[in-house]
Amino acid sequence: MVAETIVAPSRAPAKRRGHLRLSRRERRNLAVGLLFISPWLIGFLVFLVYPIVYTIRISFTRYTGFGEPEWIGLDNYRNMLHDDLFWTAVYNTLYYTALAVPIGAVVAMILALAMNQPLPEVPIYRAIIYIPSVIPLFTLTFVYQNLVHPTQGVFNRFLIWLGLPNINWFGDPRYAKLALVLLAQYGAGQVAVIFLAALKGIPASLYEAASLDGASAWRRFWGITLPLMTPVILYDLILGVSLGLQIFTQVYIISGDPPGGPANSTLMYVVYLYNNAFRFGAMGYAAALAWVLFVVTLVLALLIFRSSRWWVHYETT
């Protein structure tokens, strides 16, 4: 990866370090500019910055959400280490993310390659594949729940027809997480469309040159397509991991009472955080969990980003 250097325009007046000398006109422009973006600015400060700072504070307290928070120092963070359910939730979430994200990338790649074929009806397929991405997640989850219903689900009827055992996807702790991984593939359409855009951006001349040199389709995929797709795959990985670690809605709808069942098999990290905040009256502990999640997500994203220097190829001219 080549870092870009931004060169300050030569017209910019020389400024002493730490001092921002603005003319009256510039100051007025700045004020007007800030005024124009103030709806966003106020929203950002009130709905994002304030809650973030607030959760840091309450993560050091015992707090139900009502009354006065009681300062307990680092206890919430210490308790996490000895909390079995915390580790169950970490395991479940990593299991889900480790499967759902790479499988999602492969499915999206296959879909993108299929949509890149020069067929007249491709736009129709593209629309169909994209539809699940515009349907609200809870609707999609309800539809999926009915498809894999052990007695009435079409998908399960199909399994039985094939002579396979009837699986109670969300009722059996052995399959519940896998069922969530499968459900995540509904979202592949969205990624596939981004992949498709990247595919279209690969210069045809590269393929022509490779064909002239006798490269097979398989060889062209591994030698040209995949390397030139790596920047978007990197984007998908970082986004996918961040979203995967925050899985909540599907589990909340499907897993019954209490959320995360059966037998804690779908107790994802954010579900556990939610249970603590809104069922057990442990808002302080939930805030601490949220901060740990933030740090872990950040570290993972940085690791993926750092690893990209070995496997991401940027097209150079």
Partner 1 sequence: MGNDAWRDLVRKLRSRRIDRREFMKRASALGAGAMAISGALRQVPTRAQEPTTVTFWTTFTDPDLSILQSMVETYNSQAQGHQVELVQIPPAQVTDVTKLMTAVRGGTGPDVYHLDRFIVAQRAADGLLQDLSGLGADLSPYIAFARAEATFNGKPYALPFDTDARALYYRHDLLQSAGIDPAELDPANGPVTWDRIAEIAGPLNQQDSAGNYTRMGFIPWVNQGWHYTFGFSWGASFFDEATCTVTPDEQAMVDASTWVQNYCIELDAAKVNAFGGPTMQPGFPVQQHPFIVGTLAMQITGDWAINQMETYAPDAEYGITWMPVPKEGDQSVTWAGGWSVVIPQGAKHVEEAWTFMQWFAGEPGQRIYTKESKHLPTIEALLSDTELFEGRHQFFAELLPTAKNRPPLPVGAKYWDELTVAWQKIYLNEEEPASALATVKERVQPDLQRFCPIEMS
Contact in structure between 96 and 236 (CB atoms under 8 Å) = no
Q: By CB under 8 A, which span of 117-125, 192-200, 240-248, 278-286 interacts with partner 1?
A: 278-286
Per CB under 8 A, 25 contacts partner 1: no
Q: Kindly report the number of other CB atoms within 10 A of residue 144's CB atom.
A: 23
As measured in angstroms, the least distance from the Cβ of 254 to partner 1 is 8
Contact in structure between 70 and 60 (CB atoms under 8 Å) = no
Cα separations in angstroms, 277 against 53, 62, 75, 263, 294: 17, 11, 16, 20, 17
Per CB under 8 A, 85 contacts partner 1: yes
As measured in angstroms, the least distance from the Cβ of 270 to partner 1 is 13
Q: Which residues contact 301 (CB under 8 A, 6 or more apart)?
A: 238, 241, 242
Per CB under 8 A, 275 contacts partner 1: yes
As measured in angstroms, the least distance from the Cβ of 158 to partner 1 is 13
What gap in Å lies between CA 114 and CA 117, rounded to an integer? 6
Contact in structure between 252 and 278 (CB atoms under 8 Å) = no
Cβ proximity to partner 1: between 43 and 173 the closer is 173
Residues 148-167 that bind partner 1 (CB under 8 A): 149-151, 160, 163, 165-167
Exactly one of 4, 84, 121, 213 binds partner 1 (CB under 8 A); which one? 84
Q: Which residues contact 7 (CB under 8 A, 6 or more apart)?
A: none
Exactly one of 39, 67, 120, 214 binds partner 1 (CB under 8 A); which one? 67
Per CB under 8 A, 259 contacts partner 1: yes
Q: Which residues contact 214 (CB under 8 A, 6 or more apart)?
A: none
Closest Cα partner for 286 from 46, 53, 49, 64?
64
Q: Which two tokens stand for residue 241?
A: 């991991």
What gap in Å lies between CA 32 and CA 314, rounded to an integer? 40
Cβ proximity to partner 1: between 170 and 269 the closer is 170
Q: Kindly report the number of other CB atoms within 10 A of residue 111's CB atom.
A: 22
As measured in angstroms, the least distance from the Cβ of 106 to partner 1 is 30
Q: By CB under 8 A, which span of 12-20, 38-46, 130-138, 253-261 interacts with partner 1?
A: 253-261
Residues 46-65 that bind partner 1 (CB under 8 A): 64-65
As measured in angstroms, the least distance from the Cβ of 268 to partner 1 is 14
As measured in angstroms, the least distance from the Cβ of 171 to partner 1 is 3
What gap in Å lies between CA 181 and CA 99, rounded to an integer? 7
Exactly one of 264, 269, 287, 290 binds partner 1 (CB under 8 A); which one? 264
As measured in angstroms, the least distance from the Cβ of 238 to partner 1 is 30
Per CB under 8 A, 38 contacts partner 1: no
Please give the residue ranges that form the binding site for partner 1 (CB under 8 A): 64-67, 84-85, 145, 149-151, 160, 163, 165-168, 170-173, 254, 256-264, 274-275, 278-281
